[in-house]
Structure 1
């Protein structure tokens, strides 16, 4: 049977002007745009500690990573046996997490990032938005989550009445000729009435206000900021792969890949565009 051709790509954005852009071409992380999170942050039984280090958060020059348009942000986990956080929590892995909290946030628009991820079971890189205040009332928009099965990525919404094991979740399975290790644009179109997730411009999951309000209050009328992070193991990978040893959600093969420096999440650029007047 002949393969059905893929539909033409849809626009990646809602056609408004840029509110935020980082092409990662300056040779260093722009601290005017981004905060680097430290080891005091810990959730979901993740196995890493976040640190502000060039070993875990770096900007690579143009030409370093094939297929990138220019410079690239690399969030790269490392193995550090016996590391302890200031609170005394042991963590044999270090990794990177950056946010635009209190530096840039927005209400409604298109957020997109061009990302390339590793083939490694039990990793948990993500690109997402988070509101201010107490979670989950603050609202959370997960534009891309990857837990180490390279043929799919996930999206989700979290808010009051639909958090944690949220019913507002979906997986996108790639065509046979591509997977997460290729460059892809992950994006969300956010309007007052719906949230539309896209991959390479193609809609993958739509959540409307009535869908959300079936479970609880719509938590998406206030500002949210951007997060890029590379977690390891913990709740979501473990629930997917069931691996308990040597680390929760992380197999020995992935530990060895990290020790050899073979795992990173690469981000070519991040953009946020305003809604066009027709979408308001």
Structure 2
């Protein structure tokens, strides 16, 4: 049974129960849905999402983001790779596309967020995603506070840098940003990897943050753990981000590749040229648990 065939209530029951399959669920959790998008329209819903353009660049990433149907588009049926509908973030090789901040960019890609459209404090944020194989791909699903970084906090719900057997989760804030000690890798069970569909989620409360994959708890950071390193920056509204970066700081630290591009080996360049740099998102959900203010 695909999660697309389930209603939002049952999806929430899956997330809160820790099971991966709907038939195993006793649907008892009562929740409030704050946001849900299953990308069933013909294009990205601009009432829910902002699109980042060419005036943004961080982390020595090798792409520039563009607001284009080449990089951000909805698909249906067989094109959705096992979902009924999906959003696709796609990167392209586009030599000499733009020069920005004295850097020449040969790649374009997509990045969206809910800033000032959907902001939330506490609850569950989840997305069902399918990621591409290739060293140096750097897709992420994460949340940021609405103020200055890192003072208002960052929750990395899923980061992947091209080793298909694991994803990373992390928290960043004042005193624990960048090389944060609040980080964990989740290695998939045998027979699974990032190229399969998985639900990546976080349960966020005033007492701590639980990271999950397919309902399995993979890392917990309590408020005292965080305050050992710095200020608890997770009591303010945050917005969601989905993006597909290429190369840059984190992939380079993992694969050590310098050429042909920082963090991007020749084999991944070939995948991008062949049109295989694609992230699929089946749905995105934000919910608030009863009793949490």
Q: 1:67, CA displacement in angstroms?
A: 1.8
Query: Which residue in 2 is equivalent to 1:12?
Result: 15
Query: How high is the TM-score relative to the length of structure 2?
Result: 0.89
Query: Which residue in 2 is equivalent to 1:7?
Result: none
- SS of the residue corresponding to residue 104 of structure 2 reads coil
Q: 1:88, CA displacement in angstroms?
A: 5.0
Query: Which residue in 1 is equivalent to 2:48?
Result: 33
Query: Which residue in 1 is equivalent to 2:166?
Result: 152
- Greater fraction of residues in helix: 2
- SS of the residue corresponding to residue 40 of structure 2 reads coil
Unaligned runs of 5+ in 2: 1-12, 17-28
Query: Which residue in 2 is equivalent to 1:53?
Result: 68
Distance between the aligned counterparts of 1:247 and 1:163, measured in 2? 25
Residues 84-122 of structure 1: CA deviation (Å, up to 9, x unaligned): 145553110000000001111100000000000011000
Distance between the aligned counterparts of 1:64 and 1:243, measured in 2? 32
Structure-to-structure mapping, 1:1-280, within 5 angstroms: 11-13=14-16, 15-68=30-83, 70-85=84-99, 87=101, 89-277=103-291, 279=292
Unaligned runs of 5+ in 1: 1-9
Distance between the aligned counterparts of 2:195 and 2:212, measured in 1? 17
- SS of the residue corresponding to residue 141 of structure 1 reads strand
Distance between the aligned counterparts of 2:101 and 2:174, measured in 1? 30
Give the length in aligned residue pairs. 269
- SS of the residue corresponding to residue 63 of structure 1 reads helix
Q: 1:15, CA displacement in angstroms?
A: 4.1
Residues 153-198 of structure 1: CA deviation (Å, up to 9, x unaligned): 0000000000000000000000111100000000000000010000
Distance between the aligned counterparts of 2:280 and 2:201, measured in 1? 16
- SS of the residue corresponding to residue 83 of structure 1 reads strand
Runs of 4+ residues over 2 Å off in structure 1: 85-89
Residues 202-252 of structure 1: CA deviation (Å, up to 9, x unaligned): 000000000000000000000000000000000000000000000000000
Q: 1:11, CA displacement in angstroms?
A: 3.6
On the 8 A contact 1:15/1:274 being kept in 2, the answer is no
Indicate the RMSD between aligned Cα atoms, in angstroms.
Answer: 1.2
Distance between the aligned counterparts of 1:133 and 1:85, measured in 2? 28
Q: 1:71, CA displacement in angstroms?
A: 1.1
- SS of the residue corresponding to residue 239 of structure 1 reads helix
Q: 1:30, CA displacement in angstroms?
A: 0.1
Query: Which residue in 2 is equivalent to 1:3?
Result: none
- SS of the residue corresponding to residue 127 of structure 2 reads strand
Query: Which residue in 1 is equivalent to 2:10?
Result: none
- SS of the residue corresponding to residue 82 of structure 1 reads strand
